[in-house]
Structure formats: structure tokens, C-alpha cells
Structure 1
Amino acid sequence: MRAFPALSAAAMLLAAPVSAQDKPAEKPAAKEDTAPARAPNVAVTRHTGTFGGQRVSYVATAGETFLKDKEDTPRASIFSISYVKEGRDPNRPVTFLFNGGPGSGSVWLHMGAFGPKRVAIPSDARDDAGPPYPILDNPDSLLDVTDLVFIDPVGTGFSHALGKTDPKDFYGVTKDAESIAEFIRLWLNENGRWNAPKYLGGESYGTTRSAAVVNQLEGTYNDVALNGVLLISTVLDFGAGADTPGNEMTHILNLPSMAATALYHGKAKASSTEAFVEEARRYAMGPYAAALLKGQRISAEERTAVRRELARFTGLSEAYLEQADLRVTPARFYKELLRDRGLTIGRLDSRYTGRDYDNAGETPDNDPSFYGIDAGYTAAINAHLRDTLKYRTDRSYVTIGGIGGQWDWRIGGGRDNDVYLNVAPYLGKALRENSGMRIFVGQGYYDFATPFFGAEYALTRTGIPQDRIQYQYYGSGHMMYVRDEDRTKLSRDIRAFIRGR
């Protein structure tokens, strides 16, 4: 998820001031003034569950890891939850997971997809209503094939800057990746897993983070080689997908998602979603792309033909498409597709529908696919951490924080790199230099936050080897695991990916 409403950033722990009467002569600040004089807060519990049909006994460790400066002063507390199979096999695979935002804790992948427990919310695109929300054993967890480490970056979950460290020191594509890479190295030290097969996985901006972390882990001589990267709801090329006037690529990349959505809601006709999506892909990259690139030089005959086909794919009227100059932004699509029914559709998952204050607006009041699930996940992560895993803290778990507006989107390498943000080349370089690394790409057909055609476009550019990239598709949206069938399929697909190394 690219951006969310603002919440409070991580609090800073400052030492109490000392009066002049107590200390007539000033002295340099001691380390205790800038860092917590305490050990990391950690809780360890033991559990047993059945995952992938196998009975597994495992140790759950929920707690802090301090990132320190060159003077050994803690700068940040990274909160993580590790699930490690009893026996601690040093050669057993381990998978590091996080969500996106930027500003999102790992709650979604943790309590929705891969953790040993999951929250049960409606699978059919209805909202999660009120508590209590069932917290169930999760047979789709990956603990039968890999240990799991869920990471909350600084400003999310319970993770925060320490002492006088400015939280913004961690708010940026590269800054954030450096901190996560440092955490992974520390975890490998502490757990004796340097020679274990290693996987990195993220959702949404977490896929952006994955590419940047790969660059930090494998882009140096003191590297940490990876066996695989899991990209779930992928966004790598922000330039191509930018919904901004003058960018024609965004319309091309969104068209297949619009087609899938129109078909789902009965606004289009086709034999199957897969067939209709493939037809939309071909049209988007062919006649539609050619028409858009001609701009105002397009002929009247070609314009009429394109408008007719767009109406067939999108379910929108030709009159509306003409008014939009053949270029419908996603936000307008959410409002217009079901306007005749008095409904809007979701951004994260366009299967969801909502009702606005009135039906006359240009864009929806809110995203029904987010407010339809957030309460259940927030309740579940707090109940699981505080009750099941026995983690004690006065801090509030930040599921979605408002740090995106403070984010440093620059990745360096010159002005053009920073203007046109694209981290896919990081993955291309890693694939070229590490013959044992593979990439798994999981995409929902009904996801407009990170459209599946955008992921395909980003990962098929020059310099990215194609023989070790695997794509899987799901009949849901951004968080495909909210649909029961897709959660099981996602688990099965990734389990096979890990076993296939």
C-alpha cells in the first residue's frame, strides 16, 4: 500500500533535564542521556501446530533488537516476531517478511497469511463488522518448510527510534533498507543461521523494500546471498505507474485490472477472467498504447474504434470515455463503474463495494476494501502479541503509520534515478550475479494499489533474467489471503517455490 492517513510517528525517549542548581558546571551528556539504560524487551514462548499437514513444535520470540551506532549507542529498536522450529537446525530455511506502506507493520502478512495464527474475516468481500474476531490456527502457515521472521521497520509496529535519534534517519527507500539489512545480519548472528537458505518477502511497498534490501545484502563484498525473494502485490517502477497527467503508461498498465473488475461486477462479458485479462493485456500494449502515444494527432476513425473497445473492456459508457479523453484514472473508475447501482468499488480489492455520502462525486469518499478489514487485523495482532506470545509493553502497535509523507524517495545515482523511481534494476543485478536466486511474484486480479500488469511490465524490462521469475495470480485483490481459497493457494505456491530451490 503506497500511502495511508497519518498517525503519530515513533516517540523519542528523551532524558529528563537537569537544573542549573543541581549541576553548576556543565558536563558532556552521558550515554544514558541518549539511549535507554536497559536490555531489549523480549518474550519467548513455546507452541505446537499443524502446518502444511505436518506437526511442528516451535519457539516464538517476540521482542526488540537494538541497532547501534559506531559508539555502541542504541539508535533504534526493531521489533520482530520469530517462529523457529524446535531443534534449531542451522541449515533450515529462514524467511524474513514485512509489509509495506511505507508505514505499515507486518500485521497483515503475519495475521492474514503466514503466521501460525490468523484472524478470520469474511472471505467474500464483506466488511469485518465488530469484534470479537475469531483468531484461529493457521494450517496455511509456512512453518513446515521454513522458519519465519516478521519485521516491523522503524515507525511501525512497536519499532521506534531511541534517544535523540531523529526517526527520519530511517524514513527513506535506502535508509529503511539499510536498517532492515542490518537487522537481518544481527538476527543471523544471534541465531547461528548464516549458512541457512534465506528468503526475503514483502507485500506492496514491502516489495519495493525487498528490492532495496536485496541491494544492501548482496550489493557489497560482505554480502548475504539469498535463495529467493517473494514479491506479493508488487510495486517496483513508480514512474510507470504514477497516476499523473501526461503519463500514458499508467492507463496502459491499469486497463487489464479494469477489465477483470468490470467482468467481476457484471459490466463486461467473457468466457473467463483469465481469457479476458489476456485479451486486455494485448489490447493495452497494442492498439491502446499506439492511440495514446499519438495524443491529439489520433484520427477520428481510430478514436472511435478505441473508444468502443475501451467501453467493452471497462464497462464504462462511450460517452464517459469520450469526456475522459480515453484516459480514465483509477479513482474515477472506482466511482463510475457502479454509479448506476449507487455503489463504489475498492482500491485495494475491487471486489469490495461501498456507499458514499451521495452518488454525485467524482471519486469515492473512502476505500471499502480497507475499512472493511482493518479493525479485525488490529484487534488480532494486539491479542496475539499480548495474550498468546506474552509480550508486555505500554506502546501502541502501529498497524499503519503516517510516515509516508516524510519518506525520502531518492535512491541515488543521479537526478534521473531520483526523478524516475524504479528499484527493479536492483533485482535484475542480483539475478545476474547470484545464479541461485529466484523470484516469486504473487498478484491479485482486483488490485489497483499495485496492478498486476504493472508488476509484469517492471520485471520484463531489459537486464532482468526471465528464467528464474515465477508468476502466480489470484481471484482477489491486494491482500489476496483475505479470500480463503487464495490464502491456501498462496501458501501452496510459496511452499512449492521454497521446496524447489
Structure 2
Amino acid sequence: MRKLPLVVALATLLLGATVQAADKNPKNDKPDDKPEAALLKPQSSETSGTVKVEGRSIDYKAVAGTLVLHGTGDKENEPQVSMFYAAYFKKGVEPGKRPITFVYNGGPGSATVWLHMGAFGPRRVVTSDDSHTPAAPYGLVNNDYSLLDATDLVFIDAPGAGFSRLIADDADKGRRDEQMKERRKAIYSVDGDGHAFAKFITQFLSTYNRWNSPKYLFGESYGTTRSAVVANILENEDSVDLNGVILLSQILSFDTYIGGATANPGVDLPYELALPTYAATAYYHHKLPQQPAALEPFLREVEQYATTEYATALMAGSRLDDARRQAVAQKLHQYTGLSVAYLLKANLRVNGGMFEEQLQADDGMTTGRLDSRFSGPALDPLSKSAEYDPQSSAISSAYVAAFNDYVRRQLKFGDGQSYRLFADIDSWEFKHGVPGSDEALQQSTNVLPDLAKAMKTNPNLHVSLHGGYYDLATPYYAADYEMHHMPIPASLEKNISYAWYPSGHMVYAHEDSLKKLHDNVARFIDDTDNVGKH
């Protein structure tokens, strides 16, 4: 993988695929063989199916299609985005009494193939648990853990990804190019993306008469960042009260991002919050000097050290004396398996890419980023940081092939079109105008205030946080830290629930964790849907 500047690295919180996939996208945003006019009106294909969830059969209607989003103000009649979705509705249920959940991956600019085919859709692609999945043909099976037992589902592709496309409708080529440039600038940003998804959701509620349904957001990775923004927009601009927000592999404050820590000297928080994940990974690969008897008690010990002695040592900076520096390096060696000499050379600060490259370097192996249970041969044994992500390489082909076959053969949509894993984004605008601010702030993206405002203006809003112990992209302890530093009153803390799994960024890639994730989310929805409670 090519080396990335910090802002691009932040934009590659990819959910199961490599950055190279985005580089292969064509530059125009039209379907390959469809005229621009085809994007100007909604498309849909309706089919039916049955899924058996934990032993119970559920008949559903599936709709694969697009909604066309228009501008605002003097551009309200101007089509701007054609957004693709795949929706599943349980048959025989009154819509007003049936929850509906809007589901999306992150990227930013990722298609939602990962959650669709790996977690909650009615069919699931089979991949190897912690090793490279063999090449095609891939297995596509009934998903015993689809969320259709608890909620209707709407999987949404981000603008420019999947079958979603940006629209430029001017007949003049020069003007069309200028329109597309304006579209990209407006939508490929924290705020533009959030407003696009909020607009899609309200339009979907109208199209399918779901305004009175219990409503949920489910976002993964950058999708959690999006969820915080969208929740605030829906609650406080569109008067749409949500029942719940479900966050998987969360990142709300980018000051906690371990992947970019070395580019942000003076901010040591990412190193502290990633330490438990380093410890979990070393535990899994048996790289610790002394192997603990069980993972979770060990992690509680590491968490305590990370936020006390380790944090204090890093805060000392150059004032840290040699004896104490040596003692901290020895302790980190016990918790990470990295050598004392390496830890001292790294000034006690090892970012994610460095850890992935170094942990199994003696074996000539690179450790996975999205799921650190995975390993793969190092591309360059002398590299400072990992050159690729073994988990992405291990499972991406299975997801891509399975979905491309499924969407055309079973959902009857997309013939002649290219399904793009990622939008063709030259740059993503991370500046964010937090609630109460008149301008986008010159700081790392932080959407904690957005989710906090949504919870304060709707004190019945509940949040369910989920993460994997082996996630080096968005470490679980960073998510825990963020949630416990959200600016909300103590009375609202009871609205937040937490669940951690022995898996990675894509928790559902581990089948036992997928079952637990399903059961936890289904229970959360049942507890908060308010059906029969008024």
C-alpha cells in the first residue's frame, strides 16, 4: 500500500478492503453504459425471499433501488446525487409497529457491501476466520444472524460508491465538469456527507411511509462519525426523533486515532488508548514474555496501566529520566512483546503501522490492522510500518464477488453497471462545524458534541457501542474513552451500553462474535422500540 499523508490515512478507515481498490475507479460518476438521464429518476427492483434467523423463518420483500437527492435553497430543483440502497421489509407487519434501521459502512466513501454481506443481510458470505479465504467459488449461505428478526433494514451506499453516483445534469461539457467539481467539494466532507445521508433518510421515510416507525442508525468505523452528525441533523434540523444509534468500531474524535499519531506530536492519547489492543494482539499471537491465563482480566490490567503510569510517563516528555524510561520500556515489553531496545528507540511511542510491522517481524510476517488476528508475509521486512493489511487481502475478494453475483441474480439490479467499493475521492474535507459554531473549526474532527446534542435534545435517545479487542484501526479502548468523555449530564449516561468481542474491526468476520453482536443489537432494539409502550 502506498504511503499516505495523515488526512488521507484518516480517510482510509476502510471496512474490509484495500486503498488500491479506490484507485481503480473510473473518473466519471455515471454508470458505465447508462446515460446521465438514467440517474435523474429513482430506480427500483422488487423481489421476495425467506431467511431463517436462529431457527425462525422470516418472509421478506426486498427492494434494490436509488433515490435522487436534490439541492437546497436556490438549487432545490437541481438533482445532485443518486443514492443506491437495498431494503428488506418483513412481510405481514404493520409498518408503524416495525422498527427500521439505516445501515452503512464508513471509509469515508465506502459502499455498504461489508455489513450487507457479512453481518445483517439475509445472505452471508463465508470467509476463513483468521486466515486468507481461498479463491472462488465463494460460499453464500442463509444468514442465521440477520437482523430481520428485529428490524427492517436499509443498506445505503455512500455517494459515489457502490451504485450511488454524483449527478451533473448540464448539457455543456465544461459546465458539467464544473458542476461535478462543485458536487465533490460539497458532498465529500464531514458535513456534506452527513446532510446527504440525513436527506436520504427523510426521503426514504416518505417514499415508503415509515415516518411512524421506530428508527435506528447503524454505522461502522467512519460510519460512526457519520452517525453522530446525522443523528444531530435529524433530531435538530428535521425534527426526527431516533430511538437508537448503534455504533460499531467507533471513532468520534480523531485525536484518538493511532494510525496518525506520529504526525501529531504532543498528543500522546492515541498511544495510551491503543496499548490494550497491542496487548490483546500479542496475547493472541503468543508473543508475550509470559502468557496470561485469560484475555479479559489481562486487558483490565493493561487499561489501568495505560491511563496511569504510562500516561504520566508520556506526559513528562523529555523530562522523563533514564531510569523511569527504562522501567516503562520494560513494562511495555511485558504488555506488547516488542523488544525493550525497539521501544526505547521509538521513544515509548509506537503507532499502529509500526506495531503491525514489528510484532511478528522475526517470523517475516505482518500483523493485520482491521483484524490483528490475521497475519501475512511482510512485503518489505525492512519497512518501518506495515505495507498492507492482511485481513483486507484475506477477505475482500470474497465480499466483492459474492455481492456482485447476489445483487444481479437475486436482487435483480445493476446489470451493465459497475459496483464500486469506494468513491473516487481526491480529498475529504475533515473540517466540521460542530453544533453552536458558526464555522468549521481548524482542529481534528470531533463529533462528540453532535451526538451529545442529539442525546440532550432527545433524552430518550439510546446509544449502543460495540467493538473488537483485535481492532487496530479503531481500538476499543479509544471508543470507550470517547464515550466516557462525551459532554452529557450524568443522567444520560445510563442511555449508553457497551459490548466488546474477541474479533476485529469487522466484528462479524468472526462467527461467534457475529451471533453475540446480533443478539445484543436485537435486544437493544427490542428494549428501545417503544412498540406497545405508549
| TM-score for the superposition, normalised by structure 1 | 0.92
Map of 1:2 onto structure 2 = 13
Q: Deviations over 1:283-310 (max 9, x none)?
A: 1100000000000111222212211111
**1:326-405 superposed matches below 5 A:** 326-403=348-425, 405=426
Q: Number of matched residues?
A: 480
Answer 1 or 2: which has greater helix percent: 2
Which of residues 241, 245, 267 is equivalent to 1:229?
A: 245
Map of 2:166 onto structure 1 = 161
Shift of 1:410: 1.3
Shift of 1:406: 1.7
Q: Deviations over 1:314-353 (max 9, x none)?
A: 1011111111111111111111111111111011011101
Which of residues 199, 203, 207 is equivalent to 1:186?
A: 203
Gaps of 5+ in 2: 1-11, 170-175, 529-534
Contact between 1:172 and 1:407, CA under 8 Å: does it hold in 2? yes
C-alpha distance in 1 between matches for 2:29 and 2:424 = 16
Shift of 1:356: 2.0
Q: Deviations over 1:109-134 (max 9, x none)?
A: 000000000100112x1111210101
Structure-2 change in CA distance of 1:416 and 1:145 (3 Å): closer
C-alpha distance in 2 between matches for 1:430 and 1:365 = 39
The residue matched to 1:235 in structure 2 has which SS?
coil
Structure-2 change in CA distance of 1:448 and 1:357 (3 Å): closer
The residue matched to 1:258 in structure 2 has which SS?
helix
Contact between 1:10 and 1:161, CA under 8 Å: does it hold in 2? no
Which of residues 57, 63, 66 is equivalent to 2:65?
A: 63
Structure-2 change in CA distance of 1:137 and 1:148 (3 Å): same
Shift of 1:35: 5.2
Map of 2:281 onto structure 1 = 261
Which of residues 249, 252, 259 is equivalent to 2:269?
A: 249
Structure-2 change in CA distance of 1:301 and 1:489 (3 Å): same
C-alpha distance in 2 between matches for 1:58 and 1:451 = 36
Contact between 1:78 and 1:159, CA under 8 Å: does it hold in 2? yes
- Give the partner amino acid of 2:147: L
Contact between 2:448 and 2:486, CA under 8 Å: does it hold in 1? no
C-alpha distance in 1 between matches for 2:47 and 2:285 = 46
C-alpha distance in 2 between matches for 1:328 and 1:177 = 33
The residue matched to 2:148 in structure 1 has which SS?
coil
- Give the partner amino acid of 1:480: V
Structure-2 change in CA distance of 1:37 and 1:52 (3 Å): closer
Which of residues 408, 420, 436 is equivalent to 2:444?
A: 420
CA RMSD, 1 decimal: 1.9
- Give the partner amino acid of 1:235: I
C-alpha distance in 2 between matches for 1:315 and 1:135 = 38
Map of 2:28 onto structure 1 = 11
Determine whether 1:442 maps to 2:466: yes
C-alpha distance in 1 between matches for 2:361 and 2:36 = 56
Determine whether 1:94 maps to 2:100: yes
- Give the partner amino acid of 2:212: N
Contact between 1:11 and 1:160, CA under 8 Å: does it hold in 2? no
Q: 4+ residue stretches of structure 1 with deviation over 6 A?
A: none
C-alpha distance in 1 between matches for 2:40 and 2:376 = 48
- Give the partner amino acid of 2:275: L
Map of 1:205 onto structure 2 = 222
Contact between 2:30 and 2:165, CA under 8 Å: does it hold in 1? no
- Give the partner amino acid of 2:519: R
Q: Deviations over 1:35-84 (max 9, x none)?
A: 55864221100112212432211110001111123453422100000000
Shift of 1:402: 4.0
Structure-2 change in CA distance of 1:416 and 1:98 (3 Å): closer
Structure-2 change in CA distance of 1:37 and 1:439 (3 Å): closer
C-alpha distance in 2 between matches for 1:307 and 1:37 = 58
Structure-2 change in CA distance of 1:129 and 1:13 (3 Å): closer
Radius of gyration: which is bigger?
Answer: 1
C-alpha distance in 2 between matches for 1:277 and 1:415 = 40
- Give the partner amino acid of 1:266: H
C-alpha distance in 1 between matches for 2:120 and 2:78 = 34
Shift of 1:191: 1.1
Gaps of 5+ in 1: 15-32
Shift of 1:416: 8.0
C-alpha distance in 2 between matches for 1:312 and 1:381 = 43
C-alpha distance in 2 between matches for 1:288 and 1:186 = 49
- Give the partner amino acid of 2:431: R
- Give the partner amino acid of 2:400: T
**1:76-91 superposed matches below 5 A:** 76-91=81-96
Which of residues 45, 49, 58 is equivalent to 2:47?
A: 45
Structure-2 change in CA distance of 1:337 and 1:193 (3 Å): same
Percent identity for Structure 1 against Structure 2: 40
- Give the partner amino acid of 1:448: L
The residue matched to 2:207 in structure 1 has which SS?
helix
Which of residues 335, 338, 341 is equivalent to 1:316?
A: 338
Map of 2:8 onto structure 1 = none
